[in-house]
């Protein structure tokens, strides 16, 4: 009887102990942290370039897991437009060619005119001869009146108006520059000649005595008279606005004296300028 009671007591104790152990295990499981479930591997984050309908990049966004990486859209390049060469107009080319030819011709003519102005006139050797004095038998005609010292007006054998001007009335001594009184004399002469015959042609003659420069060099005397006539012609054209087509010059040097070169008075008369007015 005692043995049975002992066995029952032992069985009861074992049952209680197992119950306590089970309860403790259950409590430990409840109190301990739960192990999280394993997570799938995360794909590396990359960026994709979004483009609009024009093909230009607008934004960037990361590629999400499972998406496929988009290939970048190549950059658009605007084709270079080469300018078309202009086809020359034949009429314009012909006109330009004609203008260039005319300009070249004008340049040539201006050069020839300048050379003609600067070149001395051809020297013509003429034996000196004493011109006859004006006599009362010379036909009288109406002549311009020029009241200037050293100026003499008369009509020659061809009935041309001839104005004789002493060298000292126009130029400075031993020089080729016009004096102020010489310019005033030329202005008065030009005014009278215009009033007398506006359409006439003038010939400016230069004369010297036999002792100007080198007495044995007749060419030098022609050059002296030539320079003086050109100075007067330039004054008529530039200062007095005389038509250049109605004026010319002649150089005679000492070949046409009107007085004796052996006396100072005669040489003074031979050093002169004569302006001849001829009908057109």
97 or 68, which is more confident = 97
Give 151-278's CATH code, choosing from 3.30.1330.60, 3.40.47.10, 2.60.40.10, 2.10.109.10.
3.30.1330.60
176: number of Cβ within 10 Å: 12
- Cβ-contact 139, 156 below 8 angstroms: no
- Cβ-contact 226, 206 below 8 angstroms: yes
- Cβ-contact 202, 246 below 8 angstroms: yes
Q: Residue 270: name the closest of 216, 233, 224, 227 by CA.
A: 224
Q: Mean pLDDT lowest for which of 58-72, 211-225, 254-268?
A: 58-72
- Give residue limits of the domains in the chain: 151-278
Q: Mean pLDDT lowest for which of 6-15, 22-31, 111-120, 141-150?
A: 22-31
- Cβ-contact 250, 229 below 8 angstroms: yes
197: number of Cβ within 10 Å: 14
pLDDT single digits (tens) 176-220:
789 999 999 999 999 998 888 888 899 999 998 888 766 666 677
pLDDT single digits (tens) 139-156:
445 788 888 888 999 988
* Residue 163 scores a pLDDT above 90: yes
Q: Name the strands in the sheet holding 201-207, side by side, starting at the edge strand that comes first in the sequence.
A: 151-155, 161-166, 272-278, 201-207, 247-253
The confidence score (pLDDT) of residue 229 equals: 92
Q: Mean pLDDT lowest for which of 60-64, 103-107, 212-216?
A: 60-64
């Amino acid at each position: 009887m005692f043995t049975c009671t002992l066995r029952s007591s032992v069985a009861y104790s074992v049952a209680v102990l197992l119950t306590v152990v089970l309860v403790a295990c259950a409590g430990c499981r409840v109190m301990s942290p739960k192990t999280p479930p394993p997570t799938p591997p995360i794909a590396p984050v990359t960026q994709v370039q979004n483009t609009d309908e024009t093909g230009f990049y607008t934004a960037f966004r990361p590629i999400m897991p499972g998406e496929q990486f988009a290939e970048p859209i190549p950059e658009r390049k605007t084709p270079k437009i080469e300018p078309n060469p202009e086809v020359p107009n034949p009429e314009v080319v012909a006109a330009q060619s004609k203008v260039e030819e005319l300009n070249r011709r004008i340049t040539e003519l201006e050069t020839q005119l300048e050379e003609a102005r600067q070149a001395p006139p051809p020297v013509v050797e003429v034996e000196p001869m004493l011109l006859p004095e004006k006599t009362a038998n010379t036909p009288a005609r109406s002549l311009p009146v020029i009241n200037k010292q050293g100026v003499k007006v008369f009509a020659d054998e061809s009935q041309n108006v001839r104005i004789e001007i002493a060298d000292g009335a126009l130029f400075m001594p031993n020089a080729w520059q016009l004096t102020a009184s010489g310019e005033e004399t030329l202005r008065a002469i030009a005014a009278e000649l215009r009033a007398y015959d506006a359409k006439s042609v003038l010939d400016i003659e230069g004369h010297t005595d036999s002792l100007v420069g080198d007495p044995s060099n007749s060419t030098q005397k022609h050059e002296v008279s030539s320079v003086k006539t050109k100075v007067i012609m330039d004054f008529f054209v530039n200062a007095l606005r005389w038509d250049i087509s109605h004026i010319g010059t002649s150089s005679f040097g000492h070949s046409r004296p009107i007085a004796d070169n052996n006396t100072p008075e005669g040489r003074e008369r031979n050093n002169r300028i004569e302006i001849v007015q001829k009908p057109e």
